[in-house]
Amino acid sequence: MESQIKITKTSNSGLKDIDFDNIPLGTVFTDHMFVCDYENGAWQNPRIEPLKLIPTHPAAMALHYGQAIFEGMKATVGKDNTPLLFRPEENAKRFNHSAARMGMPQVSETLFVEAVKRIVGVEHAWIPPQDGSALYLRPFMYADEPFIGMRAATSYKFIVICSPAGPFFTKKIKLYAETEFIRAANGGTGEAKAAGNYAAAILPTEKAKAKGYDQVLWLDANEHKYVQEVGTMNIFFKVNGRFITPSTDGSILKGITRDSVITLLKDKGFEVEERPITIDEVVQFSKEGMLEEAFGTGTAVAIAMVEAIGYKDEVITLPQENPVSHDMKTTLDEIKTQKREDQHGWIVPVPIEEKVGS
Ligand X SMILES: *Cc1c(COP(=O)(O)O)cnc(C)c1O
Q: From the list 98, 133, 163, 257, which residue makes contact with ligand X (rule: CB under 6 A)?
A: 257
Q: What is the nearest approach in angstroms of ligand X to the Cβ of residue 234?
A: 5
Q: What is the nearest approach in angstroms of ligand X to the Cβ of residue 217?
A: 12
Q: Which is nearer to ligand X, 23 or 253 (CB)?
A: 253
Q: Is 133 in the site for ligand X (CB under 6 A)?
A: no
User: Phi-psi bin for 269: left (phi > 0), alpha (psi -120 to 50), beta?
Assistant: left
Q: Is 72 in the site for ligand X (CB under 6 A)?
A: yes
Q: Is 229 in the site for ligand X (CB under 6 A)?
A: yes
Q: Which is nearer to ligand X, 60 or 256 (CB)?
A: 256
For the segment 22-51, give every residue that binds ligand X (CB under 6 A).
Answer: none
Which runs of consecutive H residues, i.e. helices, occur in 136-255? 195-210
Q: From the list 107, 134, 256, 347, which residue makes contact with ligand X (rule: CB under 6 A)?
A: 256
Q: What is the nearest approach in angstroms of ligand X to the Cβ of residue 303?
A: 10
Stretch that binds ligand X, among 112-120, 164-172, 230-238, 270-278 (CB under 6 A): 230-238
* Non-local CB neighbours of 47 within 8 Å, separated by 6+ positions: 5, 6, 7, 8, 34, 35, 36
CB 158, CB 43: distance < 8 Å:
yes
d(CA 255, CA 119): 23
Q: Which is nearer to ligand X, 30 or 232 (CB)?
A: 232
b/e sequence 194-207, b meaning 16+ C-beta within 10 Å:
bbebeeebeebbee
Q: Is 279 in the site for ligand X (CB under 6 A)?
A: no
CA distances from 137 to 32, 33, 86, 94 (A): 12, 10, 11, 15
Q: What is the nearest approach in angstroms of ligand X to the Cβ of residue 261?
A: 9
DSSP state, residue 167: P
Q: From the list 215, 248, 297, 325, which residue makes contact with ligand X (rule: CB under 6 A)?
A: 297
Q: What is the nearest approach in angstroms of ligand X to the Cβ of residue 256?
A: 3
E strands, the chain, where?
A: 6-7, 32-39, 42-50, 68-70, 73-77, 83-86, 134-143, 156-165, 173-177, 215-219, 227-230, 234-239, 242-245, 272-274, 291-298, 302-311, 314-317, 347-349
Q: Is 221 in the site for ligand X (CB under 6 A)?
A: no
Q: Is 74 in the site for ligand X (CB under 6 A)?
A: no
Q: Which is nearer to ligand X, 23 or 184 (CB)?
A: 184
Q: What is the nearest approach in angstroms of ligand X to the Cβ of residue 85?
A: 13
Q: Is 193 in the site for ligand X (CB under 6 A)?
A: yes
Stretch that binds ligand X, among 15-23, 229-237, 271-279, 327-335 (CB under 6 A): 229-237
Amino acid symbol at 26:
G
Nearest CA-CA partner of 31 in 47, 15, 54, 55: 15
Phi, psi of 238, deg, nearest 5: -100, 115
Q: What is the nearest approach in angstroms of ligand X to the Cβ of residue 80?
A: 27
Sites of contact with ligand X (CB under 6 A): 72, 193, 229, 232-234, 253, 255-258, 297-299
